[in-house]
Structure 1
């Protein structure tokens, strides 16, 4: 009688380690698009125009904030571990026309944590007081440096190390330059809290934020012009990359929010810093605030225009075929969230019920979108831990498998491997 040999069951930690190794090899900067969207939802709970500042809204904002903090830390560990264990991936990160764009998601994800940390954790609950606020301010400076690197080094890499063409271009080109705009809006939030302790530091922060949004918006409008030309001459992006049509909401919506904050901060900082407390100083702050509000409304109008084009593009794409779920769906959350937030802020500035109602409806729709994508992502998470036979495969093969199973938004526009 043949003997049956039973293989002892592997302990739980013996199963977790290979899964973590597999996820590390598959890690990509695109993961931070998840934390960008999640952080934007946390901010929407704080800015929601009804029950603003109530305990339920603040609690929901904190719940999403801590979830986002855990995701950000986990993804950071995975990405850092990958590039430490596989240093040859660094060159691919720079030369890859897909992954290099996603590097900008990291600083933008970090700003969502800073924003809620300042507005809710520090200001509403007074956690950490002045010391914690200055810590968040220091983290903002780190984000600014990283955003500078993503913008100037990232765009320079597109000039020199990568190959691009108009027919393969999509709105993902915006990611490196939007980092400056997002950092600018975060600077406005930090400065608003900082002026209580140091008006001069707040003024310096707002001034740098004005520089950031000016450069970022200028580059973004140039790229949007090229993108419109690409849509007219070559049609909509193929397959799932059509979802990138919502990305123009990011620079237009977020820059509008940044400009509002800059105007509001200058309105209070001009009189506070002036040695001559005259009506002229007060009037200068008011004039700057009015100009910024008008500019913000113009940017909101541009964002609304792109929403209509995006909806028409999605409708046209769905008539041809269904759009398969992939990581690119997370790219829908952040742009729509910042547009909803800008609409709400304009409602507060104009004291307009129409803007508040529209912004609230759009915010609820964005929350439903985030929840749907989040639940579907958990459902699809099994694809990251299945195919365990690939856990010992070379890193290049794992990257190829990742590109097949989880194509990125611009995978149809660039022939490359995912770093």
Structure 2
């Protein structure tokens, strides 16, 4: 049997340990940048003035950049030095889904350049964000097309083994759409602003309908085959991601629409788009309530039965974060104080979950338990078996 993270020979020499870390490094680590980045952005959106919160949020964003650069170096090194092992990810039915985490982690950094960047990088912040956005959009579209194509052609899948992890590659495009909406007000040229707005709506449509279709199948899978294995416990929160990001994208794009369309002589379209944003965002927000409460109930069930820690626990953070930010955006546009209170409570829950997951990740990374690439295993056991399975890192 291939070595599990609990069975690496110890003590390892520093060089051997470093090579093994690189060989075992997988893109699910980028979910940590997603969770850290969205926490920074959510704290910055709080409608109450708390001393030091802005500084903490900015610090988290800078830390997020450090994490993303570090993970990018490690993952690039894996492709350079362990190419044969790295390319096996494309045939792995779980780990390949996490390739979508790379553009989503980058999107939080792009949004941070707009929120915190001017204070740190000055006037260069917006051009940096603009340039990175094009890279992010390309990665998102590639993820949303290529990974499903591999699912259709070369990977082994079944309804019984399906989880919300299937959402990761397709959701990246709607995250890029929400980032596009935040770039629009910073573009001086009316045509450039209109192009970015239209691309934002196109990326939203590229992702959200497909993600909602996957959620329908996921409900059927849960009815027929019950809850996934406990190692996949956090994946239930991933369903909240496309709903929260979809709502946020509509709200932010609709907010930009009146001024952007008016600048090119189409004011009526902008007013309609703004209304669609509020109504559509509200509908998706209400749909998200069902998934949020369900995720809490399912998590309570898993905690009762025992829920082992793995990198998948970062799935608790980003979906909750985007839903919290969408709630705060909806509160601002509707002027409903009760929604703002809900958003503040969700951000508080996000802070708690991030602290728990981050501390346990640091501990697991120090011990080396979390560095494990299941795509290197020649025979992967199905989820639910006693043997180490795909779910160990998912």
Question: Normalized against structure 2, the TM-score is what?
Answer: 0.90
How far the C-alpha of 1:239 sits from its partner, in A, is 1.3
The answer as to 2:334 corresponding to 1:350 is yes
Deviations 1:93-141 (A, max 9, x none): 111111110110000000000001112212xx28331x44223211101
Q: Give the RMSD, CA atoms, in angstroms.
A: 3.0
Q: TM-score, normalised by structure 1?
A: 0.84
1:289 alignment partner, SS class = helix
Q: Distance in 2 between matches of 1:384 and 1:354?
A: 44
Report the Cα offset of residue 386 of structure 1.
Answer: 11
Match of 2:202 among 196, 211, 215: 211
Q: CA deviation at 1:313?
A: 1.6
Distance in 1 of aligned mates of 2:30 and 2:92: 17
Q: How does 1:66-215 map to 2 (within 5 A)?
A: 66-122=62-118, 125=119, 127-129=121-123, 131-194=124-187, 197-215=188-206
Of residues 360, 363, 366 in structure 1, which corresponds to 2:344?
360
Q: 2:272 aligns with which of 287, 291, 296?
A: 287
Q: Which has the larger radius of gyration?
A: 1
Q: Indicate how the Cα distance of structure 1 residues 237 and 270 shifts in structure 2: closer, same or farther if over 3 A, else same.
A: same
CA spacing shift, 1:409–1:114, aligned 2, 3 Å: farther
Paired positions, count: 382
Alignment CA distance shift 1:126-1:71 (3 Å)? closer
| 4+ long deviations beyond 4 Å | 395-401, 407-419
Find the residue that maps to 1:165 and give its secondary structure.
coil
Structure 1 residues not aligned, in runs of 5+: 1-13, 275-280, 388-394
Equivalent residue, structure 1, for 2:9: none
Deviation of 1:187 after TM superposition, in Å, equals: 0.8
**CA distance, structure 2, for counterparts of residue 182 and residue 90 of structure 1:** 26
Q: CA separation in 2, counterparts of 1:339 and 1:87?
A: 37
> Structure 1 residues 232, 176: closer, same or farther in 2, change over 3 A?
same
CA gap 1:386/1:115 in 2 versus in 1, 3 angstroms = closer
Mean Cα deviation higher: 158-167 or 19-28? 19-28
Match of 1:265 in 2: 256
Cα gap change, 1:94 to 1:416, in 2 (>3 Å):
farther
Cα distance in 1 for partners of 2:84, 2:393 equals 13
Going from structure 1 to structure 2, the CA distance change for 1:416 and 1:68 (only over 3 Å counts) comes to closer
Contact 2:244 2:326 in 1 (8 A): yes
Give the 3 Å change call, closer, same or farther, for CA 384–286 of structure 1 in structure 2. same
Structure 2 Cα separation of the partners of residues 156 and 291 of structure 1? 32
Following superposition, the deviation at residue 176 of structure 1 comes to 0.7
- Specify which of 23, 26, 42 is matched with residue 25 of structure 1: 23
1:219–1:413 Cα change, 3 Å? farther
Listed as ranges, the gaps of 5+ residues in structure 2 are: 1-11
1:266: Cα distance to partner?
A: 0.9
Alpha-carbon contact 2:374-2:389 (below 8 Å) kept:
no
| 1:239-388 correspondence to structure 2 within 5 Å | 239-274=230-265, 281-319=266-304, 321-384=305-368
Aligned pairs for 1:32-51 within 5 A? 32-51=30-49
2: CA distance between counterparts of 1:174 and 1:231?
A: 15
